[in-house]
A and B are shown apart, each in its own frame.
Chain A
Amino acid sequence: MTAVASRTAGPGATRVRRGNPWRTRLTILAFLSPGIIGLAVFFVYPLAANLYYSFTRYDLVNPAQWAGFANYQFMFDGDRQIGTALRNTLVFCVVSVPVSLAFALGVASVLARIRSGAGIYRTLFYLPTLLPPVAAAMAFSFVLNPGTGPVNAILKFLGLPQPLWFHDPNLSQISLLMLTTWGVGNTIVIFLAAVNEVPQEQLEAAQIDGAGPLRRFWSITIPTISPVLLFATITGVIASLQLFSQPYVVSTVIGGGSGSAADNLGYPQNTLLFFTQVLYQQGFRYFNMGYAAALSMVLFAATLVVTVIMIAATRRGIHSEES
């Protein structure tokens, strides 16, 4: 994050040639205008407006009514769903981010050390990532389907127990974890690029000094790629906080044949109910726009806190490395 944010200038960024400074300024402004207008209309304004809406009662038909902290109060006192959703989201975040990062880093560091065929492996590991989230969720709903799915068919053939996967409240989050970890190809590619940048001389020197592979990995590879690692952690945490499509599709597809898709959100037994789904349901099914806005303020705050903590951690990490 800091690595990206702190270097604003390109290596050879030049001051625009003198001449008419106003003309130059206007040219730059013209170049930037789509981005500036876009940020203002689709980012800055909605952020501000969202804060306002979060203090109102608004159903999209009648004008918004000031409600003070009522939405926030309801979140903490009245809404029984949100506690479950919050807990699910945090637990999933805390488990899934380390699991997927560790898996991706493991694959990447093995890939970086083989002599031939790394490209083929990388392509094959990337393949599942190409599936749109909805398609991946459909595929896993089928593959892990207890009755007719191939995974349980194989387990049965091997004489092993056949779990209910998504249908079992105790296993549904683990099944979801398998689904999200399946799409880890982007992270593998990012880590592979980073691991390949680790200076070979340092690794060889350490090897000659008698450092084993684990020691070399821990003391040389990890510190060298730490900025990439932290960036991947931040984006991973944010991605898991906003997880929506996969649990939505799994719950509604396997949850049973009701007419309104939103009815099955969280199936089974609300174990797949995530924060963004409550937000979606409240805002765009029940049209409690004010309450949905309050929920998105919480999401905003959580994202902000995660990012700030991570950036602070990176700064300190890189600082101690330099001194």
Chain B
Amino acid sequence: MTSMLERPVDLDGMRRGATGDSPAKRRLSRRSILGGIARHSLLIALLIVFLAPLFFIVTTALMTDQQALTSNLIPDPINWANFAEVFDRIPLVRYVANTVLIAVATTVFAIVSSVPVAYALATFKFKGRRALWIAIIAAMMLPPQVTIVPLYVMWAQVGAVGTPLPLIVPALFGDAFTIFLLRQFFVSVPRSYIDAARIDGAGEFRILWSVFMPMVRPAIVAAGLFAFFFAWNDFFNPLLYLGSNQEWYTLSIGLSQFRSVYAVQWNLAMAATLLFVLPVVVLFFFAQKQFVQGIALTGVKE
């Protein structure tokens, strides 16, 4: 699991660890061992602070009502019933179903519509390519609130406010971030395969489907994960478009309303939070490598 994340060869460490023959070098390597200990201690101290909130979410989710009101940090007894109670208190199954449906549809649509665009941007030379690329980056960078008034008016006029359509349909027309990410992956694919297929007389659709797609499967998985997480985590758009219709509430909206319905039951609130987070964490652990590559690509210069 973690070995996937490790850099393949730790050249850095090998160089520093090499036994030198001069005393100066030996002194350097002794210092580097001490430095290593210092670095590990620093990181572990930071991690304890960093991971403490996660620990508290888990422990509180397992506490009884009464214990959650005390300042006791370790659950005693462990109260698994909180998770079942969350299902009784809020329509969690419906929220999960809505969220899964919206996130899966968005992901599939965004990938299907963005792959050809990213492929064309990475492979063809054409007039206006630079302008299109800048427009895509601009669309990705601008806050969604900048275009929200006209979009809301648009969806209200077709009677789609209160349905998940405003959350799903735009993904059918290419998602700016997905296009950006895929294109960053695609430009690193060796061009010779495509050229060879062209010389053999294959059409562009055929090349994309049978030559290119099998080569870029990891990129598609990474971009798909990002699209899924964006949709799963999104709060602003569901709040806006579903706000009037509880039928279609997602987990974000359901969770954000937890307190207003059930005063101070933090144990239930934390149990619900855990249930919301769990699928994302599980997915992440299965696809860490793709994930990390995707993130690194969004910030690394070409």
Contacts and interface: CB of A to CB of B under 8 A. Distances in A.
Interface residues of A, number: 124
B270 A139 contact: yes
B210 interface: no
A36 B145 contact: no
A289 B235 contact: no
Interface stretch (A79-87, A92-100, A166-174, A253-261): A253-261
B146 A47 contact: yes
A117 B54 CA distance: 21
B236 A244 contact: yes
Contacts of B119: 31
Contact of A300 (B7, B50, B113, B142): B142
A39 interface: yes
B260 A257 contact: yes
Contacts of A42: 139, 147, 151, 170, 173
Given A43-B147, A132-B276, A152-B71, 18 more contacts: A7-B302, A12-B192, A27-B204, A31-B208, A38-B176, A39-B139, A46-B148, A53-B149, A119-B2, A121-B47, A128-B54, A134-B252, A135-B277, A182-B53, A238-B143, A248-B235, A280-B236, A283-B149
A132 B233 contact: yes
B191 interface: yes
A15 interface: yes
Nearest to B263: A257
A235 B296 contact: no
Nearest to A246: B235
Contacts of A154: 73
A138 B255 contact: yes
A296 B145 contact: yes
B290 interface: no
Interface in A10-41: 10-17, 25, 27-28, 30-32, 34-39, 41
Nearest to B244: A284
A268 B181 CA distance: 39
Nearest to B175: A38
For the complex of A and B, the 4 pairs showing the least CB-CB separation, nearest first, are A38-B173, A190-B299, A119-B5, A3-B301
B198 interface: yes
Contacts of A235: 141, 299
Contact of B149 (A131, A191, A231, A296): A296
B78 interface: no
Given A27-B204, A139-B273, A142-B270, A35 B179 contact: yes
B50 A124 contact: yes
B286 to A, nearest CB: 13
B88 interface: no
Given A148-B264, A200-B11, A228 B116 contact: no
A120 B2 contact: yes
Interface of A: 1, 3-5, 7-17, 25, 27-28, 30-32, 34-39, 41-47, 49-50, 53, 58, 60, 107, 110-125, 127-128, 130-135, 138-143, 145, 148, 150, 152-154, 156-157, 182, 186-187, 189-194, 196-197, 200, 204, 227-228, 231-232, 234-235, 238, 241-242, 244-245, 248-249, 252-254, 257-259, 261, 276, 279-280, 283-284, 289, 292-293, 296, 299-300, 303, 307
Contact of A123 (B5, B68, B232): B5
A36 B132 contact: yes
Contact of A182 (B50, B235, B301): B50
B260 A35 contact: no
Interface of B: 2-7, 10-13, 15-17, 35-36, 39-40, 42-43, 46-47, 50-54, 56-57, 59-60, 68-73, 113-114, 116-117, 119-126, 129-130, 132-139, 141-154, 156, 170, 172-176, 179, 186-188, 190-192, 194-195, 198-199, 203-205, 208, 232-233, 235-236, 239-240, 243, 251-252, 255-260, 263-264, 266, 269-270, 273, 276-277, 280-281, 284, 288, 292, 295-296, 298-302
A139 B266 CA distance: 9
Contacts of B190: 12
Most chain B CB neighbours (cut-off 10 Å) among A32, A186, A187: A32
